[in-house]
């Protein structure tokens, strides 16, 4: 009888173990930290026009921990490092952003996140980060051509993944910290027996270096010239479509444009004369940039369209000053 009782109790134990396995509460499993990433327009709080962050571009992120009852603004001095400059990449299999090392949300307390892009910025000698944000000293746009340096809005006092943008995770809203310039050209009208070939566009006395600290650029150093386009054969202009000058938009240092910062423009004006001959003149124009746009602001995309008129031999600018994804337009005439 005793043996039978033992067998029965063992059976009961097995049954109970089976029940316990079926009733595991997933709420007690740790939640992995992931990121939801977008790029935003220049106006803070205005989310119209936000764009998806490139999935092929890893970024850097770090985070601090505070215990329950503490907040970042009041208690950040006592915050402890929780994630130390991790590389965040897009996982195509799971369709989310996360670090190679798995990080979990703490059961109590909160995390505050900082992020920057691209991750390769961290290899620059002047890069550092702390509780105040990102610092990038001695950045040179000529040495780092068209590197789109971005910093995300701080994500304070987070306790779990959120659904604000396209993905589930830490809200990571990147903003461009440089400016971008492009140049186009066209004619104001069609001219009989005349052609215009644009041969050179140069920006003179432009600052190309700077120190990024606390969301501001300082120490921008001596100005330099930027050659946008230079080709003796030139670009044949027409009145119907503005032609892109240069191979791509150019990332530039935000700055108030100096009194000696100019567009230097050269073009060949060729006239067909009686008997089939031609006469070609080299026309050179210097245009003060600040008369068009007084400054290049962080997160702005500026397009200058040169509109050349032969009637009065002036160059008109149809200029758009935008945030990185679309904003507004301005016109300018340069004589």
Segment 222-240 shows an average pLDDT of: 94
* pTM summary value: 0.83
Per-residue model confidence as pLDDT tens digits over 241-297: 999 998 788 999 999 999 999 999 999 999 998 888 999 999 999 999 998 899 999
> What phi-psi label fits residue 157: left (phi over 0), alpha (psi between -120 and 50 degrees) or beta?
left
Q: What are the structural domains of the chain?
A: 30-176 (2.60.40.2620), 179-334 (2.60.40.2630)
Strands 295-296 and 255-256: antiparallel
Rounded-to-integer distance, Cα 289 and Cα 334, Å: 10
Measured in whole angstroms, the distance separating CA 251 from the mean position of its chain's CA atoms is 10
Find out whether 217 and 298 touch, Cβ atoms under 8 Å.
yes
Rounded-to-integer distance, Cα 235 and Cα 247, Å: 13
Q: Which residue has the higher pLDDT, 248 or 17?
A: 248
Please determine, for residue 28, whether its predicted confidence score (pLDDT) is greater than 80. Answer: no
Half-sphere exposure of 105 (CA within 13 A, CB side): 23
Strands 179-187 and 255-256: unpaired
Instruction: Give the residues across from 62 on adjacent strands.
Output: 114
**For residue 168, what pLDDT is reported?**
84
Measured in whole angstroms, the distance separating CA 333 from the mean position of its chain's CA atoms is 30
Tokens describing residue 56: 């092929």
Lowest-pLDDT range, 9-18, 170-179, 221-230, 304-313?
9-18
Please determine, for residue 228, whether its predicted confidence score (pLDDT) is greater than 50. Answer: yes
> Which has the closest alpha carbon to 301: 111, 155, 85, 146?
146
Per-residue model confidence as pLDDT tens digits over 54-96: 999 999 999 999 999 999 999 999 999 999 999 999 999 999 9
**For residue 309, what pLDDT is reported?**
86
Q: How many CB atoms lie within 10 A of CB 73?
A: 8
Sheet with 314-323, strands from edge to edge, namely 243-252, 179-187, 300-309, 314-323, 330-334
Find out whether 205 and 223 touch, Cβ atoms under 8 Å.
yes
Find out whether 112 and 76 touch, Cβ atoms under 8 Å.
yes
**For residue 323, what pLDDT is reported?**
66
| DSSP structure class, residue 149 | -
**For residue 41, what pLDDT is reported?**
62
């Amino acid at each position: 009888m005793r043996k039978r009782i033992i067998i029965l109790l063992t059976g009961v134990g097995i049954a109970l173990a089976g029940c316990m396995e079926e009733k595991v509460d997933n709420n007690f499993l740790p939640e992995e930290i992931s990121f939801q990433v977008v790029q935003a327009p220049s106006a803070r709080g205005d989310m119209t026009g936000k764009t998806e962050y490139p999935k092929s571009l890893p970024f850097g992120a770090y985070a601090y921990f505070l215990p329950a009852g503490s907040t970042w603004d009041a208690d950040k001095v006592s915050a402890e490092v929780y994630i130390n400059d991790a590389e965040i990449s897009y996982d195509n299999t799971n369709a989310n952003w996360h670090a190679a090392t798995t990080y979990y949300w703490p059961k109590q307390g909160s995390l505050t996140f900082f992020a920057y892009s691209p991750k390769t910025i961290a290899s620059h000698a002047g890069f550092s980060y702390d509780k105040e944000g990102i610092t990038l000293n001695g950045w040179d746009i000529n040495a780092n051509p068209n590197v789109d340096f971005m910093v995300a809005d701080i994500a304070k006092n987070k306790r779990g993944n959120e659904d604000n943008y396209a993905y589930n995770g830490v809200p990571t809203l990147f903003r461009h910290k440089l400016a971008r310039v492009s140049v186009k050209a066209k004619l104001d009208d069609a001219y009989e027996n005349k052609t215009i070939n644009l041969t050179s566009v140069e920006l003179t006395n432009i600052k190309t270096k700077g120190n990024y600290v606390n969301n501001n650029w300082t120490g921008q150093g001596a100005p330099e010239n930027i050659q946008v386009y230079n080709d003796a054969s030139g670009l044949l202009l027409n009145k119907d479509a503005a032609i892109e000058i240069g191979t791509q938009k150019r990332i530039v240092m935000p700055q108030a444009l100096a009194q000696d910062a100019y567009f230097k423009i050269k073009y060949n004006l060729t006239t067909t004369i009686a008997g089939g001959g031609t006469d070609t003149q080299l026309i050179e124009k210097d245009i003060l940039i600040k008369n068009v746009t007084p400054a290049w602001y962080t997160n702005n995309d500026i397009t200058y369209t040169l509109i050349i008129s032969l009637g009065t031999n002036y160059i008109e600018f149809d200029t758009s000053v935008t945030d990185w994804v679309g904003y507004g337009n301005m016109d300018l005439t340069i004589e």
